[in-house]
Chain A
Amino acid sequence: MSGRASGMSGRAARGFWGEAWDRYRRKPLAVAALAFVCLLAAVAVFAPAIAGTKPVLCRYKGRLHAPCLGYFDRRLEPAIFAQDKFRGSYPQNLREKDPDSWAIWPLVFQDPHRAVRENEWPGRPANPAQDAGRPNRLNLFGTDQYGVDVFAKMVHGTTIALLVGVVSMGLAGTIGIVVGALGGYFGGWVDMLTSRITEIVMCVPTLVLILAVIAIVDKPSIWKTMAIIGATGWTGIARLTRAEFLRLKSCEFVTAARATGAGPLRIMLRHILPNALAPVLVPITFGIASAILTESALSFLGFGPPPPAASWGSLLNDARANLSMWWLVVFPGTAIFLTVLAYNLVGEALQEVTDPRLRESRK
């Protein structure tokens, strides 16, 4: 310990967010939830390396390729494999067409879009189809009626779940903060207008709005669903931001900033927003949970992303026709539940560690 560090009263030097993190760390449940959220993010990013039938990295005809990127977007799959007529089946083709090739395979050799055939991976049987696909060593979470591996589907569904949460809440957060900041800062007729708009959007039944908008767009895609969830989910954030801006705009530091000649935009962005961020972050975290929930519910009702992409909700929707295959229900259902629970726990803890009023009440 240097004399300097011990001289400063350690905690005061840490700043608001450092202190908040100190308090957060002392909540085991919240830390576990945060770890789970991070795990999900990792699964989402590395999904093709966790479960797939395309090599993560391979050397083919003297060059390195990463065909697994094709799971994110078909166009990312190197064209050479299409030219050489691989037809998605890599292990045998690699060996036959280039004996010198090598490949790093995903952890689990299963495809989210189709059943693995017999001997596709040397010595492995085909995936069981119909209702015979109970969870086993090769199919951790079982297979559906077409023989597609549920674990692989769920791993790739994680990407969708994460994207839905982040993209739609990014959009909702932006709209909500802008609308709330304008109304709260300027007041008067601006506030009147923004409050009215917020109220109207709040009153329109969300499901009507979402179903109607989804029905309007010609080609449904996961991106449009995210945009719609984001465009309807900002009202709570706007109201909170407005309240924070109303409270802060009459503070002395804002008056001081105005006295130094700062314009409204600068005051809003540089002076008020950083101070309003913590309370606004809480509904955004809860919003991620509810966005994931809304997307699953929509997919569950049959308004999900078009095949072959499958979100957790659409897995559940498929399972409804085969309720006797319990593994089709239990695993995706548990995944949705745990994800929503984790985000809610993180949001709750965030609220407790950043809100001084709540902190005192704990005593």
Chain B
Amino acid sequence: MASYLLRRLLLGGLTLVAITFIVYGLARNMPGTPLTVQLGETDPSRKLNPEDQERMRRIYGLDRPWPEGYVRWLGSVFRGDLGRSFSRKQPVITLIGERIGPTFLVSGTAFLLTWLMGVPLGLYASARSGRLDERASSLLLYVLYSFPTFVAALFLQVVFAVWLRDTRWELPLFGMSDLPADAGWLARAVDIARHAILPITCQTYVSLAYDSRFIKANMEEAVRQDYVRTARAKGAGPWRVLFHHAFRNTLIPLVTLLGLSLPGLIGGSVIIEQIFTWPGMGRLFFESIRERDYPTIMGLTLMFSVLTLVGQLLADMLYCLVDPRVSVS
């Protein structure tokens, strides 16, 4: 076990270096630098004169070739320093800390809702397999699964922010809060919740459709096994067979799915956060690409990749834990 873990960690480390190297190379070769993009876009008169630009380039280390920049970045990461954002004049780690809360508010709620609804839905579908109501609900879930999030987000915005404007059902279009900072905490909480409803809905329905289909597919596999037939033969009721015998054996693939959803939980969704201008990680990432803010791009890339790899590793480890037949070697 220990040697397996060590090998996986080592391999993961190498993968991380490869990924960050590629992304750093790509980021540094995008046209424009943080200096030109940031100031030139907002106001041409504020463009830096050449000497100032040269000075700034030296300060930011942009006058060196990018492989050298990468090695420096890697070095400071090993010292526990993700660097400072160019455009926001703050340490990257602070920025991430600021954004992680709003992202988790949306993705965590969506995650809970998904599993609270997805498991019963999947079980219901496999219990009623082949009946009319199951086929109708499965078709509906399939349609939802194919519904692109950004289309759904726009449709929801049209309905709740335009058609229902000035009614009690109206929901805000953008942002996280309209209230001033000195408003009461209850008012603020209600306001934030109202802003979060649409993003949470968008993030929930896709994974709900995916997860319940996944559960149903696994259940269909499980109910054909011999042990289910045995359970039925010994006289166990249909629900007991479904829960106690079949469902428990589908937990293994579910654990994998849980592991793989880890990066999304903290990384958020670029598109949803962008549409609703939700101040989360995904939006920070999108903005940092536009601003050519290399330290932030790299910090976020590192975080996403670490989460992806940890999620995979966690899934594999849990896999061994829940299924004694599987061994790590």
Contact = CB atoms under 8 A, between A and B. Distances in A.
Which of A203, A297, A301, A341 has its CB near the most chain B CB atoms (within 10 A)?
A203
Interface in A185-214: 196, 199-200, 203-205, 207-209, 211-213
B154 A320 contact: yes
A337 B147 contact: yes
Nearest to B267: A205
Contacts of A208: 23, 26, 285, 289, 297, 301, 304
Nearest to B24: A212
Interface stretch (A4-12, A90-98, A235-243, A325-333): A325-333
B139 to A, nearest CB: 8
For this complex, into which size category does the number of interface residues on chain A fall? 35 or more
Given A209-B26, A333-B155, A300 B150 contact: yes
Nearest to B270: A207
B305 A329 contact: no
B56 interface: no
A341 B271 contact: no
Contacts of A212: 23, 26-27, 30, 289
Interface string B142-170: 11011110110011011001110000000
Contacts, number: 106
Contacts of A329: 154-155, 158
Nearest to A301: B274
A293 B147 CA distance: 10
B26 A216 contact: yes
Contact of A316 (B139, B151, B289): B151
A2 interface: no
A249 to B, nearest CB: 24
Interface string B292-318: 000001000100110011000000000
Contacts of A205: 267, 301, 304-305
A282 interface: no
Contact of A215 (B143, B173, B289, B304): B289
B64 interface: no
Contacts of B328: none
Which of B147, B158, B270, B285 has its CB near the most chain A CB atoms (within 10 A)?
B158
Contacts of B173: 323
B297 to A, nearest CB: 8
Interface stretch (B14-22, B110-118, B239-247): B14-22
A133 B144 CA distance: 30
Given A200-B19, A216-B30, A319-B154, A297 B148 contact: yes
Which of B23, B148, B163, B301 has its CB near the most chain A CB atoms (within 10 A)?
B148
Given A216-B30, A324-B162, A203 B150 contact: no
Contact of B150 (A297, A324, A345): A297
A110 interface: no
Which of A211, A212, A297 has its CB near the most chain B CB atoms (within 10 A)?
A212
A340 interface: yes
Contacts of B124: none
Given A208-B301, A216-B29, A326-B158, A200 B146 contact: no
A292 to B, nearest CB: 9
14 contacts: A196-B15, A203-B305, A203-B308, A208-B285, A212-B26, A215-B31, A297-B148, A316-B151, A319-B154, A320-B154, A323-B161, A323-B173, A336-B148, A340-B147
